[in-house]
Amino acid sequence: MERARQANSAGRKAAPVSDHHTLPVHEVVLLLETDITKGLGPGQVSRRRSQFGANMLPRSKRGGMWRKLLRQFNNPLVYVLLAAAAVTGVLGEYLDSGVILAVVLVNTLIGFVQETRAEAALDALHSLVRTAAVVLRDGQRQEIPSEDLVPGDLVLLEAGDKVPADLRLVRLSGLRVDESALTGESEAVSKDEVVLPVGTPVADRRNMVYSGTLVTAGTGEGIVVAIGGETELGEIHRLMGAVQTVATPLTRKLARFSSTLTVAILALAALAFAAGVVRGQQPAETFTAAVALAVGAIPEGLPAAVTVTLAIGVRRMARRRAVVRRLPVVETLGSTTVICSDKTGTFTENQMTVRALWTPSASYDVSGSGYGPAGRISAAGKGAPEGAAVEPESTQDAALYWSLLAGGACNDAKIVLDGQLWQAQGDPTEAAMLVVAGKGGIDVAEFLAANPRRGTLPFTSERQYMATLHSPALPGQGGTVLVKGAVERVLELCGTQLDPSGRPAPIRRQEVLEAVHGLTRTGLRVLATAMMHLPKDAGPLAEEVLEGRLTLTGLQAMLDPPRNAAAASVRACHDAGVGVKMITGDHVGTALSIADAVGLRTSGEGSRALTGSLLDAIPEHQLPDAVEQTNVFARVSPEQKLRLIGALQSRGHVVAMTGDGVNDAPALRQADVGVSMGRSGTEAAKEAADIVLTDDDFATIEAAVEEGRNVFDNLTKFIVWTLPTNMGEGLVILVAILIGGTLPILPTQILWINMTTAVALGLMLAFEPKEPGIMSRPPRKPDRPLLTWVLTVRIILVSVLLVAGTWWIFELELAGGASLAEARTAAVNLFVAVELFYLFSCRSLTRPAWRVGVFANPWIVLGVVLQMAGQLAITYSPLMNGLFHTAPINLKPGCGSSASRCLPPWLLPWTSASGEQASRRSRGDAASGPLGPVCGRENGLRWAT
């Protein structure tokens, strides 16, 4: 009573989550005011929805944001900069200290924004893979988005489902659940309805199932007792703070690379500082120069660029209907060497239409297309619709009647009229069989009303058939068993075949197999049907009951046309050096025929196709050879898929594998790229997959491989662009320290170059479109380093060019009578100009810069414009001149050092060259600058203005 009061009064916490396992079902029903046979009514649902909200895990709280912001400070470069700011502050150079701090702040904010955006992009992906739940509401079975579940809903579960909320089980049959997501226990647990004592730990609550766990076998029904953040999963989510990271092996490798580099550069900077001091240079100035060296040489933009490039790749893939669930896979995709794909729905449309029927005494054609009722059954060869329509009950062929009935009644699909279009709900194979039963005049609903279903052996890929028991009497009273399934499997169970008069006769297997061969040769998918009568005391429906006792009634052959784009995609994969293999549960004849239609290579050294049973007969050491040389595998079970992947991986292949069933999960995990089907896949398969295809199409896998390659290209481009920049900056300063000369670029100016060019120029490379011919080169070897020696030489050359150019312009300006500030400004501008031109060279790693369309990547154009505006500002704006110790420079030779004589008149009001005072400042010969007195070059290392 006390419990019930709590339950009805306290919002989302209404049903004390931890208590439901201690209550008998009827109390839970009372508590949650629901109905165990009809579920909730529409009014109850909408009321509870507004009271309890959506069934979603809460988004990360603001605390997460602060943590993320603070994380940005945890970076060696920031430490170096903070140290530099402190030292310059202590030295009284407050302006410089302020500039450095501002740069730290801006850098942090940029990092924060980038990380937030990348995470938001990934978050958005989750909503693309929506989880559905099947509920009973108002007596109607409905499929709804799991967000719409409310407490009290009656949820129906079957193998492959992801449990959408915390449920108290009310009915179940052989229900087993994988709770590893919650308890870490990898073995699936059996469930039952018994009431449990108070204090039973979550892992032992057999009468409950929890949100986020997976049903591996059986069926069940449960009442929703907790949703969203109130579920056990929500609790864990809250405890962990649910921080989504964007780390992948590559980002980790690069982060390691940058930190090693950082340590090396810091050591070098320390050495340079020591060398400078030993040689008698001013410690304070040498320290600042050493900081400039460190700041310049550390490639601080690298981790951010990697994250952004990956996030952009993931977004592009989502646009092409491949939703990435695990980020590291984006890298792996680019190295994929073999794609193992199933057939139904991936290479084919999964739009089934029964075209031919066979019974032990006759063959029939079926007319009509799609799932519409229009169409007829006529004797084979006579042609429909001219041929006489068959009305099974009035014809002499009883086997046809029983075959159509088995197809229609041993069936969970539905056909609905959606506008003008007849649509299949449920398994397309079953929908096709339901339609043909209608074309044959069978009233399935009438049969079911008179002979309700008393038992079911559901279809699974292992069982390969489905059986239902129907009887007009009470359960356990015998009746009729109807079966449909894979031909080989059903034949194993049959001892007889039905003759036209409806009497069992000895089965003629050879004849049946010949008929199957004839039908599959044209690419039709063939299922067999069978039946048996059970005596009154036969007990419940079980596999053993059927062994050898079924009577074959016929074959149904359906057309599932190959997808339009499949052949082109297979060709593209072959051009890209990626092998394509079909691994299907279907008959070998059907598989081969579709394989030929989509252009899979089925001739050559290996056998044309291997079936699951042949695979089992191949010794382990010969398997890799056999698997490598064969492209079609038929009647393969999920366990055999695991063997296939292992064999390919042992040959160094990087394997992408598709799967949709609950038992495909291990294979999807074992594959380098696990791909599951968004439409037809079970939740278990989606959960195990790295990528979910929202359209189930093979072409999408090919598109994902292409995008994966592009991500790698763009990352390489960024690295090839950024490393010379950093090396160049570091070397410019190192040379200055070593020769004891004046710094041609000041630390704050280096900061300017680094921060602006990385964002405005470098990051824009992440948006580069695909290189032409990206799919006509072989896959990247997974162990190949990011930088080949050609690229390394290129990086060194550009670094040297940058150093030489910077020193050259600096010396030239000084020799021409320019002030230090002017000479440095020229050096900064030259440095940025070289980077800018080099950016264009990095846009393609295979083509010369002029062959890449300038506007192919509009972001680059925007970045260049922004960077140029920034350079104008730092050169000519008095404020920036003051902050960065720069000065307006002359654009024409022979102008002398006063910009006022050289600049176009419209620029003058914006420059510091408009007045006498500014002119003096621009020369850098003011009596004192923000960092102390003016120094001559001959006095050794100087970085003051």
Ligand X SMILES: Nc1ncnc2c1ncn2[C@@H]1O[C@H](COP(=O)(O)OP(=O)(O)OP(=O)(O)O)[C@@H](O)[C@H]1O
Min dist. Cβ of residue 390 to ligand X (A) = 23
Length of the chain: 945
Min dist. Cβ of residue 466 to ligand X (A) = 4
21 token code pair:
């396992």
Stretch that binds ligand X, among 281-289, 426-434, 610-618, 642-650 (CB under 6 A): 426-434
DSSP string, 516-561: HHHHHTTT-EEEEEEEEEEPTT--S--HHHHTTTEEEEEEEEEE-P
Q: Is 342 a catalytic residue?
A: yes
678 token code pair:
């968004």
* Position with the least CB separation from ligand X: 585
**One character per residue 606-645, x = contact with ligand X (rule: CB under 6 A):** ----------------------------------------
DSSP string, 575-587: HTT-EEEEE-SS-
Cβ proximity to ligand X: between 137 and 343 the closer is 343
Interactions with ligand X, residue window 40-79 (CB under 6 A) = none
What single letter denotes the amino acid at residue 882? G
Cβ proximity to ligand X: between 390 and 487 the closer is 487
Stretch that binds ligand X, among 275-283, 481-489, 732-740, 878-886 (CB under 6 A): 481-489
Q: From CA 19, how far away is CA 80, in angstroms rounded?
A: 55
Min dist. Cβ of residue 349 to ligand X (A) = 12
Min dist. Cβ of residue 505 to ligand X (A) = 24
Interactions with ligand X, residue window 579-598 (CB under 6 A) = 584-586
Cβ proximity to ligand X: between 210 and 465 the closer is 465
E-assigned strand segments in 560-646: 579-583, 610-611, 632-634
Q: Of these, 104, 340, 406, 466, which contacts ligand X (CB under 6 A)?
A: 466
Q: From CA 82, how far away is CA 84, in angstroms rounded?
A: 5
Min dist. Cβ of residue 635 to ligand X (A) = 7
Cβ proximity to ligand X: between 371 and 943 the closer is 371
Q: Which residue has the tokens 């050794």?
A: 940
List beta partners, residue 87: none
Q: Of these, 461, 607, 694, 877, which contacts ligand X (CB under 6 A)?
A: 461
Cβ proximity to ligand X: between 211 and 553 the closer is 553
Q: From CA 452, how far away is CA 450, in angstroms rounded?
A: 6
Element spanning 862, H or E: helix 858-876
Interactions with ligand X, residue window 510-539 (CB under 6 A) = 527
Q: How many residues bind ligand X (CB under 6 A)?
A: 18
Give the CA count within 13 Å in the CB-facing half-sphere of 445.
4
Cβ proximity to ligand X: between 321 and 343 the closer is 343
Q: How far is CA 48 from CA 155, 540, 588, in A?
A: 16, 40, 52
Interactions with ligand X, residue window 313-352 (CB under 6 A) = 342-344
Min dist. Cβ of residue 145 to ligand X (A) = 25
Stretch that binds ligand X, among 85-93, 393-401, 464-472, 543-551 (CB under 6 A): 464-472
Give the CA count within 13 Å in the CB-facing half-sphere of 886.
30
Q: From CA 924, how far away is CA 945, in angstroms rounded?
A: 6
What single letter denotes the amino acid at residue 217? A
| Helix, coil or strand: residue 249 | helix
Contact status, residue 648 vs residue 670, Cβ threshold 8 Å: no
Cβ proximity to ligand X: between 465 and 838 the closer is 465
Q: How far is CA 305 from CA 301, 335, 759, 856, in A?
A: 6, 21, 9, 20
> Which residue in 35, 161, 166, 342 is the catalytic one?
342
What phi and psi values does residue 80 have, to the nearest 5 degrees?
Answer: -60, -45
Q: Is 429 in the site for ligand X (CB under 6 A)?
A: yes
End-to-end CA distance of the chain: 84
Min dist. Cβ of residue 569 to ligand X (A) = 16
Q: Of these, 464, 754, 757, 857, which contacts ligand X (CB under 6 A)?
A: 464
Q: From CA 683, how far away is CA 680, in angstroms rounded?
A: 10
Min dist. Cβ of residue 661 to ligand X (A) = 7
Cβ proximity to ligand X: between 590 and 754 the closer is 590
Min dist. Cβ of residue 371 to ligand X (A) = 15
Q: Of these, 35, 96, 119, 427, which contacts ligand X (CB under 6 A)?
A: 427
The answer, yes or no, to whether the previous bond of 385 is cis (omega within 30 of 0) is yes
Cβ proximity to ligand X: between 632 and 654 the closer is 632
Q: From CA 845, how far away is CA 842, in angstroms rounded?
A: 6
User: Which are the catalytic amino acids?
Assistant: 342
List contacts with ligand X (CB under 6 A). Answer: 342-344, 427, 429-430, 459, 461, 464-466, 484-486, 527, 584-586
